Structure 1
Amino acid sequence: MHSAACRPWAGFSLLFLSTHLLAAPAPSVEERLARLEARTIVAERRAAAAEADAARLRREVERLDRQFAVNSSLPTQLQLSLSERVAQIEARQQSLETRTSTLASSVDSIEDLTEGFSFGAYARSGMMTNGSGGGRGGPNVTPAGSIGGSVGRLGNEVDTYVEAKFSKETQASNGTRSKYMFAIADGVETPNDWTSGDSSLNVRQVYAELGNLASFQDIPMLRDATIWAGKRFDRDNYDIHWLDRGIVFLAGTGGGIYDVRPTDGWRLNASLMSRSYGDFGTETNKDIRTYVATLNQYFDDDRWQLMLSAISSGQNNDKLNDDKRKLSDEDSRVNKAGFSPGEKGWHGMFAYHRPDFFGGEGFFKTALLYGKGLGGEVNTIGGDGELLDEAETLRLAIYGHTRLNDDWRIAPALIAEKSKNRYVPDDDYNYLTFNVRLANELSSNFEMLYEFTWQTMDLDARGYDGRQTANGDFWKITFAPTFKAETGEFFTRPELRLFATYMNWSKDLDNFSTTDDFGQKGFKSGGVWQLGVQMETWF
């Protein structure tokens, strides 16, 4: 192998050795709660000791009272000394009793605060370099990524992203359960320690829900139902983790009901959510809203799923100003290609879920999705206001994971999509992605991860947003030595990874866009090595 090819491996070796210098992580929430519990135990012990001291002092007071009575004939000065001693002991007893009561109240307050409280999080952070001072990547790095054609994420992420979720659950005296959820998130690509100028801190979820409602217990189909309102992700969203791409992602602000059971083998959820497509961009300055009504049904112990959504955005190609007078065509709302976007659409998904991998360890899922008009974005339902009424998208997704033997695990995934008339009449987008991740467990704390991605595409964007045609293939392979608390499962975290990624693609993809990675100077076909280190965690 020539020396230029060896340089990435030398850099990879240095990165591997540098893991010994990583600082210890900050205490987790579980550790802080454990410390709080330890302090509570100490407080309880002190309270018990104070009670014992109080009991001992009461006995001492009683003894001195008896002694004072027996020696009532003692000289006056001695009687005064005994009286002062009794008063001092009684004052100390009262102080100890007050401290005992305060400590007990503190313990009760801590228990009230933490009961029903939970904290969850997801985070990833790492750095990547191609050996010349830069690094490009991300699951949507390819031209097909412009319409959701993701590729493998292992060794292909350059960002720091964090989500924090806080929830509090309580139960009323009538048995009704309530829950409040608050979630924030932030993501940046700069590696600096202070990133406020690049931050996109956002409240991702804030909602409340009621379950096991006492008023529903006499209605069989509603006994298990949960009602909710606020801003949230739908509870039953799911994705292909290896691609960081949702199979279906329903989110917005609204309300709904979960787990209505018309029969024993039929469960359904219903919701109405609102999303925004932003300002009109003319003198009207309207916030263009869209509304998504969804009925999500499950059959046969949740193995089969039929999800249907209707989408409406009556002002998305509005030509009216605040006085309801017609504006000129130049003042009409248009997409980035100058065409009037759609006002309605619908979305459907038919899916099959197995809790095993055809009888083996793991799971298996497949889904067929179709969208029309504003439903043409089949992942984020109602999330793309640029789509035409004529837009159509068909997508097939198949994925799962299982164990090959005692030491090896495998997670294959395949997505194929065909879409047309999305943003420009007669535009055409076609791609197929195959991805497989392998894990080889070498010890209880160390495993080797491997990921291979191949994607083929035939895209004709018709100039939309500066995009051109792209016809060719992309492929990527990643090697990632990985440390974790315990090996054996794909979804056990945290993971600390070193990685070396090699990617290449057809020359015809190089000039897809002047704004995306494929079209940028220094990022051309012919092979690119990228090295890095990353952590990923969730709980």
Structure 2
Amino acid sequence: MQKATGWLLAGVLGTTAATSQAATLEERMAAFEARASAAEKRAAAAEQQTQALARELQQIKLSTSTLPPAASTATAISAPALDTRLAKLEARQQSLEKEGNTGHLTDGFSFNGYARSGLLVDEGLGGGRGGPYTTPAGSVGGAVGRLGNEDDTYVRIDLSKEIHAQNGTRAKFTVSIADGVESSNDWTADESKLNVRQVFTTLDHVAAFKGNSVFENATLWAGKRFDRDNFDIHWLDSDVVYLAGTGGGIYDVQMSKNWRSNYSLIGRSYGDFSQGGINADVESYILTSNQFFDDGQWQWMYNAIGAKKNDFGTRTNKAGLTPADSGLHSMLANHQKTFFGREGFFKTALLYGQGLGAEVKNVGSDGELIDDARALRLALYGETPLASDWRIGPSLLAEQSKDRYVKGDDYRWLTLNVRLANRINSNFEMAYEMSWQTMNLDPKGYLQRNAVDGNFWKFTVAPTFKLDVADLLTRPELRVFASFMNWSSDLDRFSTTDAFGMTDFHAGGVWQYGIQMETWF
């Protein structure tokens, strides 16, 4: 394992990396452009009507103002009618001007989301077990392949409303609501984890910034959110980096032609505790600098984390040690818009953290870490056509961390995953996924966990129907699947509270079957 990890970490310097999920972004951009076009047409029509009415009003006012004092009886009789018509036209003009300013209620409104829901059945017709973090390494972020390995229903809905000021400034309010349950029932209120994941507002095209080359394209934001530039390995269901909480910041400060910057201050909570008659609400604060170079190809992220009350008095973590009250976290990433010169994309990221920053994926989220904690993680993944009707998405995720919760603990794991898809026709494909994970974990008794050393592997076949068979990230998908999993028997000893080692879920080989839908828009 040490040799493999060393080889991987040495290899990162020569590895190129890749773009984000272009298909999804293009779909969202197309939808936004369609809404913008419709709004512009309505505004143009209202403007034309306003101008026509203005010309008619001017003609009426001109005709009434030039009437001679001794007008004929017919003309005198028509004057009150002209006044009435004038009043109606002025009222209509004001209505049109108001409509042109505020637009229709649906203008600037967007509805986006993600959802998955499926049934997982084991070979004995019992409830299946699994999940992307089902292995012992999952306790410290070691994800495995998700295809044919999920038994939950999860949904997130993003609702946004954008408005424009006359000075050109745009504001956008967003709220995200999410829920996740493992029950197969139709009514799951008792198991529900309904949550407002985001509620924030942004300002961009800020009129006060016009003419300022540094801030002209900047976006201001405040509220509760996850960072705009988080990115993930979808087929592992693992974020590469995930920054989230409540606070504020600024995106896209243009430092120079090929250098833009994001800055934010985000707060998180480690919970409340009472000690010696003193109540304390433990808050963590993350100061973030995110730098992008060469049109976003290179990214350097740096986080400074502080939680002054986390080591208050004799407060301890679950291992009885004093937790850290600060930490550092950094990531260097490369986003390539090709797969080593071929169609597709590839990304590479190297992450390092210490203290509270040693949780390198969910930045600043783990208040149990001690001062000596150190972690190093490598992520590689991408997607490309393999042949005319085949696409492949390889990924690698590896981490070594030590002194996390107990001095002397040591966690080492590596996951290799390959997602394959064979296009049969425009709506049907055969999807395959192969995962292998190796781990050497020594928790030093933390949470009564035992040291284990072994491997896990999984193979899934999933006949899949899609709206359009374009690439691995095109959704929605309706799939049936069969998965075979097996692992080293030593891993059954890791914990008495995890899935491994249960009487109906232990080493020796497990078949599971299911049906699932997954969508985003």
Same fold (TM over 0.5): yes
Measure how far apart 1:284 and its partner are.
3.2
Measure how far apart 1:285 and its partner are.
3.8
What CA distance in whole angstroms lies between the structure 2 residues aligned with 1:469 and 1:354? 39
1:308 pairs with one of 302, 315, 319: 302
Q: What letter corresponds to residue 115 of structure 1 in structure 2? A: D
| Structure 1 counterpart of 2:477 | 495
Measure how far apart 1:253 and its partner are.
0.3
Q: Are 1:244 and 2:237 matched, yes or no?
A: yes
| Structure 2 counterpart of 1:24 | none
Percent identity (aligned): 59
1:184 pairs with one of 177, 186, 197: 177
Q: Are 1:364 and 2:346 matched, yes or no?
A: yes
Measure how far apart 1:131 and its partner are.
2.5
| Structure 1 counterpart of 2:249 | 256
What CA distance in whole angstroms lies between the structure 1 residues aligned with 2:423 and 2:519? 19
- How far does the alpha carbon of each residue in 1:118-139 deviate from its partner, in whole angstroms, 9 at most, with x for none? 0001000001011321210100
Measure how far apart 1:281 and its partner are.
4.9
- How far does the alpha carbon of each residue in 1:286-306 deviate from its partner, in whole angstroms, 9 at most, with x for none? 221000000000111111111
Q: Are 1:342 and 2:324 matched, yes or no?
A: yes
What CA distance in whole angstroms lies between the structure 2 residues aligned with 1:488 and 1:174? 41
Secondary structure of the residue aligned to 2:400 is: strand
Q: Are 1:445 and 2:445 matched, yes or no?
A: no
| Structure 1 counterpart of 2:410 | 428
What CA distance in whole angstroms lies between the structure 2 residues aligned with 1:348 and 1:306? 7
| Structure 1 counterpart of 2:201 | 208
Cα pair 2:460 2:481 within 8 Å, conserved: yes
Cα pair 1:250 1:380 within 8 Å, conserved: yes
Cα pair 1:281 1:333 within 8 Å, conserved: no
Cα pair 1:246 1:379 within 8 Å, conserved: yes
Q: What letter corresponds to residue 222 of structure 1 in structure 2? A: F
Cα pair 1:450 1:478 within 8 Å, conserved: yes
| Structure 1 counterpart of 2:107 | 115
What CA distance in whole angstroms lies between the structure 2 residues aligned with 1:252 and 1:402? 34
Q: Are 1:220 and 2:213 matched, yes or no?
A: yes
| Structure 2 counterpart of 1:93 | none
What CA distance in whole angstroms lies between the structure 2 residues aligned with 1:218 and 1:115? 28
What CA distance in whole angstroms lies between the structure 2 residues aligned with 1:247 and 1:203? 23
Secondary structure of the residue aligned to 2:493 is: coil
What CA distance in whole angstroms lies between the structure 1 residues aligned with 2:225 and 2:304? 18
Larger RCO, structures 1/2 (Cα 8 Å, 6+ apart): 2
| Structure 2 counterpart of 1:131 | 123
When normalised by structure 2's length, the TM-score is 0.80
| Structure 1 counterpart of 2:70 | none
| Structure 2 counterpart of 1:485 | 467
Cα pair 2:123 2:510 within 8 Å, conserved: no
Could you list the runs of 5+ residues in structure 1 that have no partner in the other structure?
1-29, 42-96, 320-331
Q: Which contiguous aligned blocks of 4+ residues in structure 1 show a shift greater than 3 angstroms?
A: 108-111, 281-285
Could you list the runs of 5+ residues in structure 2 that have no partner in the other structure?
1-30, 43-87
1:270 pairs with one of 258, 263, 267: 263
| Structure 1 counterpart of 2:278 | 284
CA RMSD in angstroms, aligned pairs only: 2.2
What CA distance in whole angstroms lies between the structure 2 residues aligned with 1:264 and 1:258? 15
Q: Are 1:530 and 2:512 matched, yes or no?
A: yes
Q: What letter corresponds to residue 409 of structure 2 in structure 1? A: D
Matches within 5 A, 1:7-86: none
What CA distance in whole angstroms lies between the structure 2 residues aligned with 1:243 and 1:231? 26
Cα pair 2:484 2:509 within 8 Å, conserved: yes
Q: What letter corresponds to residue 227 of structure 2 in structure 1? A: D
What CA distance in whole angstroms lies between the structure 1 residues aligned with 2:519 and 2:422? 20
Measure how far apart 1:111 and its partner are.
5.6
Measure how far apart 1:334 and its partner are.
1.1
Q: Residues 468, 281 of structure 1: CA spacing in aligned structure 2 closer, same or farther, 3 A cutoff?
A: farther
Matches within 5 A, 1:460-471: 460-471=442-453
| Structure 2 counterpart of 1:143 | 136
| Structure 2 counterpart of 1:506 | 488
Q: What letter corresponds to residue 453 of structure 2 in structure 1? A: N
Secondary structure of the residue aligned to 1:146 is: helix
| Structure 1 counterpart of 2:357 | 375
Quick check: which has more Rg, 1 or 2? 1
Q: What letter corresponds to residue 341 of structure 1 in structure 2? A: P
- How far does the alpha carbon of each residue in 1:289-345 deviate from its partner, in whole angstroms, 9 at most, with x for none? 0000000001111111110000000100101xxxxxxxxxxxx22111111110000
| Structure 2 counterpart of 1:323 | none
| Structure 1 counterpart of 2:16 | none
Measure how far apart 1:463 and its partner are.
1.2
Q: What letter corresponds to residue 497 of structure 2 in structure 1? A: T
| Structure 2 counterpart of 1:92 | none
Secondary structure of the residue aligned to 1:336 is: coil
- How far does the alpha carbon of each residue in 1:377-428 deviate from its partner, in whole angstroms, 9 at most, with x for none? 0001000000001000000111100001210000000011100000000000
Secondary structure of the residue aligned to 1:316 is: helix
What CA distance in whole angstroms lies between the structure 1 residues aligned with 2:367 and 2:498? 21
Q: What letter corresponds to residue 306 of structure 2 in structure 1? A: S
| Structure 2 counterpart of 1:80 | none
Q: Are 1:152 and 2:134 matched, yes or no?
A: no
When normalised by structure 1's length, the TM-score is 0.78
Secondary structure of the residue aligned to 2:490 is: helix
